[in-house]
Amino acid sequence: MEKQRKKDLETNLNLPAPASWRRRTMLVFLYKILWRTILGVVIGLRYLGVNKNQPDGPVIYIANHNSHLDAISMMTVVPRHRLHLTHSVAAQDFFGNSFFRQWSMENLVNAVLISRKRREDQVDPIEFLDGLLQAGRSLILFPEGTRGVAGSMGDFKRGVGHLASRHPGIPVIPIYLDGLYRNLPKGRAMIVPFGGNLIMGEPLVFGDEDVDEITLRTQKALEVMAQELRDANRV
């Protein structure tokens, strides 16, 4: 019954098809071996507070957004058996404007592309992402909605609030990304080894909070992590 329900969701909302074993193997190699080595050894990214015993089910990962390395770095901390079930959410108008870029995002990053200017004949992005969570998938969200000013964090859009309010049993895991904008600056194509930090916070579990309260709490969680890092660096 549950398997049929997920299959119906995938069909009705045109969700990404379940990954083949070859694609699962490729994603594990890309993120647990190749990118983890590049980020950790070559670039010098420090992984702090990463919980190896993450919830074994759908999760909403959220992070601040300054670099195209952000989604890749987030994928390296997803449990390997959940990699093929975890989708970064990216902008269709930017990443879907060429065949190679769209193919790379969908197949190498395992991303789903969402239109920021929805046509009447398109599925509501929130309904689409809601369907992914219902189907047992996890999401990587950047609640600011776009890459902000390097080194700072903008106000969160309400999308994370809408999704978390619909799924009170699904944890929201905040991750603060520090310094990745220096490794791959906006407008540049070459990665440079300037180090940085990926800090995973404790899961946030919501009950009957409304959309705005959830949005504010998730933003506050990342702001606290950022401040704690600045305080530690000063010491």
Q: What was the pLDDT predicted at 117?
A: 67
Query: Is 135 within 8 Å of 210 (Cβ atoms)?
Result: no
Tell me the pLDDT tens digit for each residue of 152-181. Answer: 788 999 999 999 999 998 999 999 999 888
The pLDDT tens digits for 65-80 are 888 889 999 999 999 9
pLDDT mean over 53-67: 91
> Domain boundaries in the chain?
2-234
Of the given ranges (17-31, 54-68, 90-104, 175-189), which has the lowest mean pLDDT? 175-189
pLDDT score, position 189: 65
Provide the whole-model pTM: 0.92
Q: Per-residue DSSP letters for 47-68?
A: EES--SS--SS--EEEE---ST
Fold for domain 2-234?
Glycerol-3-phosphate (1)-acyltransferase (3.40.1130)
Per-residue model confidence as pLDDT tens digits over 117-145? 666 666 788 999 999 999 999 999 999 98
Contact assessment for residue 129 and residue 163, using Cβ atoms and an 8 Å cutoff: yes
Q: What are the phi and psi torsion angles at 74 (to 5°)?
A: -65, -40
